[in-house]
């Protein structure tokens, strides 16, 4: 009996010991699968290689037009880069009946490219999906008749639209950037090709997600561009296409959807660019023209669309969508150097932030539409003081949500276009939200393109159509 | 011998066979009847209106089922198939890869597959989804809103007093007919009527 008990105890002990070691040796995570890079089997970008693009190879003339109109909207955010129409005609204070009337509309390829205007002519960078070509199209501002088209073959796949840049125009030239970073300069009056530049080929530019969003800048006789790649910024002679200077890019800064803004700080003229990887200030004059004066990698987000907003006191407001939020920096000259301090950094819910459009400054206050991830303020127009961009002075309220649409100011009126094609007229004010009129103009889809206004004609578009609305 | 009767065992076999056939017919008829009754009945089940949902995350915590019977579903016809997907990648992710630190989903329930430049397909593994709505919030904020939550009726106990509906801050939970139990985006549009509701999950 005693022997049996011993036997049972030994057997039980042995089994327990085996079980203990089994438990000890067992990896409870053996069934886990690691999430590591490459599980999506990402392929190479097959569309970036192909036959060389002959920029500006095609030209078509459809008609001629003479106009007495003298108004201009020469580039992204207008002549002064502030989204405010100067010397505007008196515009209607309220809308009744058919106001504001759609004068004409034209079909465009899917995209978000806004127009520019010069003395009765409208210039739009379009993409023709049927012909598979980038096309700079010229229309008559008064009746929407297409006058000419300068185009070139380039293969694109739809990716939330294709074209999304605003041409820059002066008396002599038009400067464009296509979806795949092809730069084209043509004569304004005739559409004759002057020169072309493939930034992917020349500077190893990485085409941004959803294609190029950077709007080109003409500064005097120079085209100012930010390719990223091997040169973070370049200047090209408008008349000849000769590269005047190139800014090296040792930090590997990439092209963003943002556009270069001019700035003068303590008498020094410079170009400010909110890139992917950093924000930079590049000298725009003097012996150091084209040199990086200052930069901050504290501002580093994967997608940046709004342009930097620069203040005379050295502050620069930076904002971006996709959860990035905003940052206020202060650039301070210090001898021949510049010092950059981050004054404030916050998430979209905590203050003014933008996903696509750039805030507008009106009588010392900043106005902008909040992104979708701004909590209760999502898609509302808000007003802040630049001294504290996290303190909201007023909002358009929960009934005043505008999507991601554009806005501009003319004749003391602010025009805001909602995603769905609703145009709202507001009296811009530093103390409260004052809505003057509102009308749904068309059944719009993704009406995100920057607007343009000249001679009382307001140009706006959704993903596939451009409309001309008379607002005076 | 000719007067000899058939063995009783054969009659019993026939009886059993016909009995089984009858039982099978009755059961199939019953199932069909119940299915018919269910498909034509006025019974109601819980469902989420995706246009009212505010992605608060309570569906993951409040459901009596573990994990929650609320799952993310994907309206492929609305999806942009983006490389930078707000529903898949964390905001400001280090890289657009499948590495764990870049994924927004806490359980890696969204599988991403490259199709061709520049498109990626996103598929939900429902066995891993806990209904937290993090991806829905990302997709709604930065994308087309193709990812959205639905109560999956193969998991839902259809409690008369749904514990999620009681706490839903957006009153997105509603009773819908049992024969049209899903409100899938694409077919079901904002403010859509019952005819827009899809019958299939």
Cβ-contact A196, A55 below 8 angstroms: yes
Chain B nearest-CA residue for A45: B117
Give Cα separations from A372 to A113, A160, A259, A264 (angstroms). Answer: 22, 17, 22, 33
Comparing CB atoms, the residue among A45, A157, A322 nearest residue B142 is A322
Q: Average of pLDDT values for A82-86?
A: 96
Comparing CB atoms, the residue among A47, A301, A302 nearest residue B117 is A47
Q: Average of pLDDT values for B159-178?
A: 93
**Residue closest to A371 by CA, chosen among A387, A389, A385, A350:** A350
Q: How far apart are CA A63 and CA B82, in angstroms?
A: 40
Q: Average of pLDDT values for A339-354?
A: 96
Q: Do B83 and A209 touch (CB under 8 A)?
A: yes
pLDDT digits (tens, 9 = 90+) for A396-445: 999 999 999 899 999 999 999 999 999 999 999 999 999 999 999 999 88
**Mutation site for B-interface testing, chosen from A35, A300, A304, A348 by largest number of B Cβ within 10 Å:** A35
Domain ranges for chain B, please list them.
Answer: 1-39, 44-196
Chain A contact for B116, CB < 8 A? Answer: yes
**Residue closest to B82 by CA, chosen among B125, B127, B120, B36:** B120
What is the predicted pLDDT for the residue at B61?
Answer: 96
**CB < 8 Å to A36, chain B:** 98-100
Q: How far apart are CA A377 and CA B79, in angstroms?
A: 25
Comparing CB atoms, the residue among B113, B118, B140 nearest residue A157 is B118
pLDDT digits (tens, 9 = 90+) for B54-79: 999 999 999 999 999 999 999 999 99
CA B77 to chain A, closest CA, distance in angstroms equals 14
Give Cα separations from B148 to A311, B71, B168, B190 (angstroms). Answer: 42, 8, 15, 13
Q: What are the phi and psi torsion angles at B159 (to 5°)?
A: -55, 135
Its pTM stands at 0.85
**Average confidence score pLDDT of chain A:** 95
**Residue closest to A367 by CA, chosen among A354, A350, A378:** A354
Cβ-contact A180, A211 below 8 angstroms: yes
Chain A nearest-CA residue for B144: A160
pLDDT above 70 for B6: no
pLDDT digits (tens, 9 = 90+) for A248-259: 999 999 999 999
**CB < 8 Å to A45, chain B:** 117-118
Q: How far apart are CA A251 and CA A290, in angstroms?
A: 16
Cβ-contact A186, A172 below 8 angstroms: no
**CB < 8 Å to B82, chain A:** 159-160, 209-210
CA B137 to chain A, closest CA, distance in angstroms equals 8
What is the predicted pLDDT for the residue at B194?
Answer: 40
**CB < 8 Å to B141, chain A:** 323, 371-373
Which band of pLDDT confidence, cut at 50, 70 and 90, is reported for residue B112?
very high
What is the predicted pLDDT for the residue at A46?
Answer: 55
Q: What percent of chain A has pLDDT over 70?
A: 99
Q: How far apart are CA A375 and CA A371, in angstroms?
A: 9
**CB < 8 Å to B98, chain A:** 35-40
pLDDT above 90 for B187: no
What is the predicted pLDDT for the residue at B42?
Answer: 72
Q: Do A324 and B92 touch (CB under 8 A)?
A: yes
Cβ-contact B192, B182 below 8 angstroms: no
Spell out the domains of chain A, with CATH numbers in brackets.
200-296 (2.40.10.480)
Q: Do B113 and A40 touch (CB under 8 A)?
A: yes
B113: which 2 tokens?
């597959």
Q: Is A153 helix (H, G, I), strand (E, B) or coil?
A: strand
What's the ipTM?
Answer: 0.79
């Amino acid at each position: 009996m005693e022997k049996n008990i011993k036997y049972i105890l030994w057997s039980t002990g042995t089994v327990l010991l085996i079980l203990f070691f089994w438990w000890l040796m067992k990896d409870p995570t053996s069934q886990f699968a690691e999430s590591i890079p490459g599980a999506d089997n990402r392929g190479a970008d097959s569309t970036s290689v192909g036959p060389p693009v002959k920029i500006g190879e095609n030209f078509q003339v459809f008609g001629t037009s003479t106009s007495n109109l003298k108004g201009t909207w020469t580039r992204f955010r207008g002549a002064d880069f502030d989204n405010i129409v100067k010397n505007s005609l008196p515009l209607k204070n309220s809308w009744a009946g058919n106001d504001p009337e759609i004068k004409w509309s034209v079909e465009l390829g899917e995209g978000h490219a806004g127009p520019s205007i010069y003395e009765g002519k409208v210039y739009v960078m379009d993409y023709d999906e049927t012909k598979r070509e980038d096309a700079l199209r010229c229309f008559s501002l008064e009746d929407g008749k297409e006058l000419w088209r300068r185009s070139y073959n380039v293969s694109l796949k739809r990716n939330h639209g294709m074209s999304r840049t605003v041409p820059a125009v002066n008396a002599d030239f038009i400067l464009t950037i296509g979806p795949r970073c092809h730069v084209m300069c043509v004569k304004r009056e005739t559409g004759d090709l002057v020169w072309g530049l493939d930034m992917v080929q020349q500077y190893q530019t990485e085409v941004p997600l959803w294609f190029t969003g950077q709007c080109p800048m003409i500064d005097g006789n120079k085209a100012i561009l930010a390719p990223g790649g091997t040169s973070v910024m370049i200047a090209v002679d408008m008349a000849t296409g000769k590269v005047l200077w190139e800014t090296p890019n040792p930090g590997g800064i990439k092209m963003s959807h943002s556009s270069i803004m001019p700035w003068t700080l303590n008498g020094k003229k410079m170009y400010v660019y909110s890139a992917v990887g950093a924000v930079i200030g590049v000298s725009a004059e003097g012996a150091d023209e084209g040199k990086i004066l200052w930069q901050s990698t504290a501002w580093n987000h994967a997608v940046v669309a709004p342009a930097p907003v620069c203040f005379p006191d050295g502050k620069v407001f930076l904002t971006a969508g996709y959860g990035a939020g905003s940052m206020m920096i202060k650039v301070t000259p210090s001898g021949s150097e510049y010092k950059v301090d981050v004054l404030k950094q916050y998430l979209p819910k905590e203050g003014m932030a933008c996903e696509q459009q750039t805030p507008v400054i009106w009588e010392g206050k900043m106005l902008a539409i909040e992104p979708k991830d701004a909590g209760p303020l999502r898609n509302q127009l808000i007003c802040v003081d630049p001294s504290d961009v996290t303190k909201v002075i007023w909002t358009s309220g929960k009934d005043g949500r505008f999507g991601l649409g554009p806005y501009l100011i003319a004749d003391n009126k602010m025009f805001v276009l909602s995603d769905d094609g609703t145009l709202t007229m507001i009296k811009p004010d530093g103390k409260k939200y004052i809505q003057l009129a509102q009308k749904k103009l068309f059944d719009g889809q993704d009406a995100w393109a920057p607007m343009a206004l000249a001679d009382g004609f307001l140009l706006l578009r959704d993903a596939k159509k451009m409309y001309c609305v008379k607002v005076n | 011998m000719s007067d000899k009767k058939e063995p009783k065992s054969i009659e019993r076999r026939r009886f059993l066979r016909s009995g089984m056939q009858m039982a099978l017919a009755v059961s199939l008829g019953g199932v069909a009847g119940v299915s018919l009754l269910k498909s034509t009945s006025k019974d109601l089940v819980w469902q989420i209106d995706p246009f009212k949902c505010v992605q608060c995350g309570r569906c993951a915590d409040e459901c009596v089922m573990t994990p929650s019977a609320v799952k993310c579903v994907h309206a492929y016809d609305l999806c942009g198939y983006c490389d930078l997907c707000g529903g898949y990648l964390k905001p400001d992710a280090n890289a657009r890869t499948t590495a764990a630190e870049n994924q927004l989903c806490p359980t890696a329930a969204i599988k991403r597959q490259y199709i061709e430049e520049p498109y990626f397909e996103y598929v939900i593994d429902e066995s891993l989804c806990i209904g937290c709505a993090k991806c829905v919030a990302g997709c709604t904020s930065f994308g087309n809103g193709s990812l959205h939550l639905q109560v999956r009726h193969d998991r839902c106990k259809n409690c008369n007093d749904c514990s999620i509906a009681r706490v839903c801050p957006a009153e997105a939970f509603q009773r819908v007919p049992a024969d049209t139990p899903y409100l899938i985006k694409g077919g079901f549009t904002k403010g859509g009527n019952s005819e827009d509701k899809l019958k299939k999950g």
